[in-house]
Amino acid sequence: MSLMQHVYHKCGGCGKKQEFVNSGKFRVNANGNKVDVWLIYRCKKCKHSWNLTIFERTKPSRIPSDLYELFLENDEETALQYGNDIEFLKRNNAELK
Ligand SMILES: [Zn+2]
């Protein structure tokens, strides 16, 4: 856990830039034949949540089923992998230090 990438973002709760912490939880929203998957971060100060997009309106068939299961189970290992994926963090406009 100590190797976790520090992530900064403007908090909608505090109204200023704060450090956000990987909650280790995914949010999956299946709507018809489209799926959204987010990894949830929380403001270190006020716990306001910030969802980082992993899949956006993606056809379920395009998401590997074993990976999809890991999202549903809030798999810690998978959450850590995304939390250290610089490309993923940058795509979500996370500021890194
Ligand atoms: Zn905050």
Local structure of residue 11 (DSSP, 8 states): -
- 97 inside domain: no
**Residue 9 Cα, ligand 1 centroid: separation in angstroms?**
9
What 8-state DSSP symbol labels residue 62?
G
Can you give the residue range of the structural domain that contains 46? 7-92
How confident is the model over 4-13, as a mean pLDDT? 94
Does residue 1 sit within a domain?
no
- Residue 1 burial (CB < 10 Å; 0-12/13-18/19+)? exposed
What is the Å distance from ligand 1's center to 3 Cα?
22
* Residue pLDDT, tens place only, 27-76: 999 998 999 999 999 999 999 999 999 999 999 999 999 999 999 999 99
Q: Compute, in degrees rounded to 10, the torsion defined by CA atoms 51, 54, 56, 59.
A: -140
CA of 93 to the centre of ligand 1 (A): 16
CA of 25 to the centre of ligand 1 (A): 18
Please give the Cα distance from 27 to 22 (Å, whole number).
13
Model pLDDT, residue 3: 64
Question: pLDDT at position 1, please?
Answer: 44
Domain count along the chain: 1
